[in-house]
Amino acid sequence: MTATQLILACLLDVMVGDPRWFPHPVRLMGLAIARSEQWVWHLASGPGYERAAGAALAVGLPALCYGAGLLAIEAAGWMSAMLGAMVGVVLAWTTLAARDLADHATAVERALEAGSLDSARTAAGRIVGRDTAALSEGEVVRATVESVAEGACDGVVAPLVYLVLGGPPLALAYKAINTLDSMIGHHAEPYQHVGWASARLDDVANWVPARITALLLVLAAGIVSRRSRTMREGWRILRRDGHKHPSPNAGRPEAAMAGALQVQLGGLNLYRGEPELRPYLGDPGAPWHPAHIKEAVALMWTASFLAAVLAVGLLLR
């Protein structure tokens, strides 16, 4: 991956996002996981088999995606160096999701501003994992802000880290790991055994990117607000609350976001009808308002820009 290719991939993400007509690799990964999951349930003969099958899937799909990305770039490069570079740019673009995350979050904000809570719930359901059908307006805002904070890592910073380390093939492997975790990496039944390997591998893959994301969100808070106090508050809450989340990674960017916006994230969520109380991150602040979503998106964009600049700088060394 060259600096020029990375810049072009970032520009494509900003300008185009994730058009639904494009055969996005992540959607193909999702189909592959769904098919594999059906095969596992059909042949499952106990927890031991499920854990073994889950481990094979957790390793096999990322390896397959890495190989497919490498083969696509190499095959195009055999025909033309320019074509190979273009394929690399397109594959890198598909691993980035800043524009798509911003568009989805903004759709929630606009629905709330228009007074359509049902539409906001539906829009939030596209980017959050919890049940959204009965959420209040404030809970819709909280869910969206939390998703923006976590998505800044999964959809922007982490792919940039892996693009720098190993180019589009490694970034595609990361997206496979992340997609596996979102689909089957759950602690509750029926995924308790089949998803354990995917969840652990995602924890490892996101350990460094999550902490980079949190630091960038703290820095972004100072840039967007133009007040050092906001940055200090983000840093304070990150240090105090970042470790409280059940995930070893998700709490870092969420705590940084909570401190930057001076709100409190966490609380009671429903997942497939089952309640789960998440630790509170941040101090109680002003009542939730749709404007908090706009502020969170601004922080995400700023942190994404900073991450891209750092990534390009590393590639230019």
Check residue 183 and give its pLDDT: 85
Alpha-carbon distance of 234 to 122, in angstroms, equals 30
pLDDT per position as a tens digit, 248-301 = 999 999 999 999 999 999 998 888 788 888 999 999 988 999 999 999 999 999
Note the Cα 315 to chain centre separation in Å. Answer: 23
For 71, phi and psi rounded to 5 degrees?
-65, -40
Number of domains, the chain: 1
Alpha-carbon distance of 127 to 140, in angstroms, equals 11
Instruction: Lowest mean pLDDT of 18-32, 124-138, 231-245, name the range.
Output: 18-32
Q: Label residue 149 by pLDDT band (50, 70, 90).
A: very high
What is the amino acid identity at position 286?
Answer: A
Q: What 3-state DSSP class applies to 85?
A: helix
Distances (CA, A) of 96 to 9, 24, 302: 8, 11, 15
Domain that includes residue 35, residue range: 3-316
pLDDT per position as a tens digit, 61-78 = 999 999 999 999 999 999
Alpha-carbon distance of 200 to 53, in angstroms, equals 15
The answer on pLDDT for 176 being more than 80 is yes
The answer on pLDDT for 42 being more than 70 is no
Q: Over the chain, what is the mean pLDDT?
A: 92
* Mean pLDDT, residues 105-118 taken together: 96
Check residue 274 and give its pLDDT: 81
What is the amino acid identity at position 170?
Answer: L
Selection from 153, 247, 248 nearest residue 209 by Cα: 153
> Which two tokens mark 91?
């594959």
> Which two tokens mark 179?
């997609």
Alpha-carbon distance of 208 to 230, in angstroms, equals 24
> Which two tokens mark 86?
């273009």
Alpha-carbon distance of 249 to 209, in angstroms, equals 9
Alpha-carbon distance of 6 to 199, in angstroms, equals 28
Look at the alpha carbons of 284, 286, 302, 144 in this order and tell me if their dihedral is positive or negative: positive
Check residue 40 and give its pLDDT: 74
Look at the alpha carbons of 48, 50, 55, 59 in this order and tell me if their dihedral is positive or negative: positive
The answer on pLDDT for 46 being more than 80 is no
| 64 Cβ contact list (under 8 Å, min separation 6) | 176
